[in-house]
Amino acid sequence: MKYIKKKFFIENVKVRNLTKKFSTPIYCYSYKKLKKNIMIFKKNFKNLNPLICFAVKANANLKLLKEIKKFGLGADVVSLGELTKALKAGIQTKKIVFSGVGKTSEELRFAIDKKILLINAESKSEILEIERIAKSKREIVNIGIRLNPNTDAKTLKQISTGKKQDKFGLTEKYFLELVKYLKNSKFIKLKCLSVHIGSQILSNQPYEKMLKVVDRIIKKSNYKFEFIDLGGGMGISYDKKIKNLNYKKYAVAIKKVLKKHNTKIIFEPGRSIIGNTAILVSKVIYIKHGSNKNFVILDAGMNDLMRPALYGAEHQIIPENKKNVFTKKTYEFVGPICESTDRFLTAKKFQKLNEKDLVIISDVGAYGMSLSSNYNVRLKPAEILIKGYKINVIKKRQRLKDLI
Ligand code: LLP
């Protein structure tokens, strides 16, 4: 993704041409970036020989899942829908793990029938439900138990999951009790300890703390786990000033734990695989003068990209057509939706924009389209995958008749 002669390109395709054909707003993905992210992830954790299960919640586009599958990745799913999509994408059942605090009987039965690698259970009740189903089917089901390590992930509080006040995982006491209980279960084979402390984690310190807890609890449990599933959470740079999580450092810390416990490692990365692969292209509908700022009203809204409204997340916005003229007034980029939280970014200095200009909202590949909605009866945007010169519509824009 770059400017060529002041026009923005994804790989070899001029973004402006895409909008002529497919209108706006549109999500555009770069295959090259996706491939690069997967290669970098694999390379940095090579020593651990992990099973990498892509967190489907970050992006559930079927065509993208198929591409991700081709690199040998598995899937981390959290619902019947995600599991069905992962299977449809051709991901092998032996590379699928199922997470989540509220799996229904229907979901558990389906996962058990498909013989996926692991169901990562998060409560005693869920384990008893799995046991009931397994017994009725006379099958042995492989599970993990998710530990709540009470570790601060030092990320946005809305996306932190590993502290004791969070609903996720089991406290040390209950975790150990369940390990003991499962030692004698005829229908459940406990294979995995799983953890996931949060998302968009940029420092290794929380991971290192979490690994210490994992190490201590495995010792205490006196149980031989076949897998440790470390979840995802690796943070990416949404802003030039911030660097991605240092994978190498994380790998070293994990290796230390593996010296004591000889287990296989599972990762469930979402954002770090797909986050920076996509842009959301939007058109300026109106520019409205306010008292001390100008509102740039875009045709993309919080229904298309929810992260700013939901978490106060900032996605950089850049012009599609670079010019050297700047405004003196602050721009506030907002959507057309009737909510004050429908705003994307405030920019003190920005290129002077005109109505009908195109802008690029950056790094929207993860939790962009997957969090989108039909709020205000707005149509979900099209998704386009670019591979070199090739333009592939991987999801058509919704039509009004789909909604009415
Ligand atoms: N595994 C589990 C059990 C998870 O709950 C999650 C994310 C992941 C893996 C993947 O985490 P990642 O590598 O993508 O950080 N919507 C929020 C993020 C929510 C994350 C939820 N769980 C956002 O837009 O920032």
The closest-lying atom of ligand 1 relative to the alpha carbon of residue 194 is: 3
- Verify whether ligand 1 is closer than 6 Å to residue 37 (CB atom): no
Task: Report how far ligand 1's centroid is from the alpha carbon of 114 (Å).
Answer: 24
Both 198 and 138 in one domain: the answer is yes
**pLDDT score for 152:** 85
Domain boundary among 223, 251, 274: 274
Domain boundary among 274, 308, 325: 274
Other Cβ atoms less than 10 A from the Cβ of 2: the count is 8
Question: Which are the contacts of 257, defined by CB distance < 8 A and separation ≥ 6?
Answer: 211, 214, 215, 228
Task: Report how far ligand 1's centroid is from the alpha carbon of 390 (Å).
Answer: 30
User: Count of domains in the chain?
Assistant: 2
Question: Which are the contacts of 277, defined by CB distance < 8 A and separation ≥ 6?
Answer: 29, 30, 33, 34, 37, 365
d(C-alpha 245, C-alpha 255), whole Å: 17
Minimum CA distance residue for ligand 1 atom 15: 233
Domain boundary among 254, 274, 294: 274
Task: Report how far ligand 1's centroid is from the alpha carbon of 275 (Å).
Answer: 11
Q: Give the pair of three-digit tokens for residue 396.
A: 């058509």
Task: Report how far ligand 1's centroid is from the alpha carbon of 76 (Å).
Answer: 10
| 26-30/278-289 β-pairing | antiparallel
Domain that holds residue 217: 31-274
Question: Which are the contacts of 344, defined by CB distance < 8 A and separation ≥ 6?
Answer: 298, 300, 305, 308, 315, 317, 333, 334, 335, 361
The closest-lying atom of ligand 1 relative to the alpha carbon of residue 156 is: 25
Both 15 and 77 in one domain: the answer is no
Is residue 34 within 8 Å of 274, Cβ to Cβ? yes
pLDDT of 119-160, one tens digit each?
999 999 999 999 999 999 999 999 999 999 988 888 888 877
The label of the residue with tokens 């012009």 reads 319
Angle between helices 31-44 and 247-260 (to 10 degrees): 40
Task: Please give the chain's pLDDT, 404 residues, in tens.
Answer: 999 999 999 999 999 999 999 999 999 999 999 999 999 999 999 999 999 999 999 999 999 999 999 999 999 999 999 999 999 999 999 999 999 999 999 999 999 999 999 999 999 999 999 999 999 999 999 999 999 998 888 888 887 788 888 899 999 999 999 999 999 999 999 999 999 999 999 999 999 999 999 999 999 999 999 999 999 999 999 998 999 999 999 999 999 999 999 999 999 999 999 999 999 999 999 999 988 999 999 999 999 999 999 999 999 999 999 999 999 899 999 999 999 999 999 999 999 999 999 999 999 999 999 999 999 999 999 999 999 999 999 999 999 999 99
Both 255 and 366 in one domain: the answer is no
Task: Report how far ligand 1's centroid is from the alpha carbon of 58 (Å).
Answer: 7
Both 240 and 342 in one domain: the answer is no
**pLDDT score for 335:** 98
Both 201 and 107 in one domain: the answer is yes
Both 203 and 175 in one domain: the answer is yes
**pLDDT score for 365:** 98
Tell me the sheet residues that pair with 4: 7
The closest-lying atom of ligand 1 relative to the alpha carbon of residue 268 is: 9
H or E segment and range at residue 282 = strand 278-289
Both 41 and 23 in one domain: the answer is no
**pLDDT score for 162:** 82
Both 145 and 287 in one domain: the answer is no
| 2-4/7-10 β-pairing | antiparallel
- Verify whether ligand 1 is closer than 6 Å to residue 122 (CB atom): no
CA quadruple 164, 165, 170, 174: dihedral sign: positive
**pLDDT score for 217:** 97
- Verify whether ligand 1 is closer than 6 Å to residue 270 (CB atom): yes
Minimum CA distance residue for ligand 1 atom 14: 270
Asked if 28 is an active-site residue, the reply is no
Task: Report how far ligand 1's centroid is from the alpha carbon of 156 (Å).
Answer: 12
The closest-lying atom of ligand 1 relative to the alpha carbon of residue 313 is: 25
Both 44 and 175 in one domain: the answer is yes
Both 147 and 203 in one domain: the answer is yes
| 312 burial via Cβ count (<10 Å: 0-12, 13-18, 19+) | exposed
- Verify whether ligand 1 is closer than 6 Å to residue 308 (CB atom): no
Both 7 and 107 in one domain: the answer is no
- Verify whether ligand 1 is closer than 6 Å to residue 315 (CB atom): no
Both 214 and 314 in one domain: the answer is no
CATH number for the domain harbouring residue 75: 3.20.20.10
- Verify whether ligand 1 is closer than 6 Å to residue 301 (CB atom): no
Minimum CA distance residue for ligand 1 atom 5: 196
CATH number for the domain harbouring residue 317: 2.40.37.10
- Verify whether ligand 1 is closer than 6 Å to residue 233 (CB atom): yes
